[in-house]
């Protein structure tokens, strides 16, 4: 009879041995690459002449200039966004007004159509009665009374 624990332990040992071999090969590859890089760097440094600092670095903007430029860009972007929003709002308002003008004749026809005189649809009647009433204050009379020492602006 085969003992599964013994077989699984042997299999696990073989796998771990292969993993260790792979890790060792990987480490040797890393060491080889590091040595090659060090050698290449040393060779390049000995061949290349010592150059002074590039002159283009003097033309780079100062940190203060970068901050000022970023703030100016942000202000321009905000102004453009505001203008775009205002234009969009104006276009929506114009569209709504034109749509209302286009629908007004239909609403007038619907309210004067035969069979509807005296009995308007519930939504129309409610809206018409709401607009016909004067606005009432929700405040009690005592709240609207003038308090001593307060002035109206």
Structure tokens at 26: 């990987």
Output b/e per residue, 73-108; b: 16+ Cβ within 10 A.
eeeeeeeeeeeeeeeeeeeeeeeeeeeeeeeeeeee
CA dihedral sign, ordered 43, 47, 50, 54? negative
In order of 79, 80, 87, 88, 148, the CA distances from 83 in angstroms are: 6, 5, 6, 9, 47
pLDDT in tens, 96-125: 999 888 888 888 888 886 665 555 555 544
pLDDT in tens, 1-35: 678 888 888 888 899 899 999 899 988 988 998 88
Contact 19, 11 (CB under 8 A): no
> pTM score > 0.75 for this model?
no
Contact 76, 68 (CB under 8 A): no
In which band, very low, low, confident or very high, does the pLDDT at 148 lie, cut at 50, 70 and 90?
low
């Amino acid at each position: 009879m085969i003992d599964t624990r013994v077989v699984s332990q042997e299999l696990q040992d073989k796998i771990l041995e292969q993993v260790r071999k792979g890790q060792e090969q990987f480490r040797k590859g890393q060491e080889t690459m590091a040595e090659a890089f060090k050698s290449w760097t040393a060779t390049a440094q000995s061949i290349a002449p010592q150059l002074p600092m590039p002159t283009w670095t003097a033309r780079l903007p100062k940190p203060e200039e970068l901050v000022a430029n970023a703030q100016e860009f942000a202000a321009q972007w905000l102004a453009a966004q505001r203008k775009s929003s205002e234009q969009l709002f104006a276009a929506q308002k114009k569209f709504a007004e034109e749509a209302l003008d286009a629908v007004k004749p239909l609403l007038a026809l619907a309210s004067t159509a035969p069979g509807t005189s005296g009995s308007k649809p519930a939504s129309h009647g409610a809206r018409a009665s709401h607009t016909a009433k004067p606005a009432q204050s929700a405040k009690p009379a005592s709240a609207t009374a003038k308090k001593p020492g307060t002035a109206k602006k």
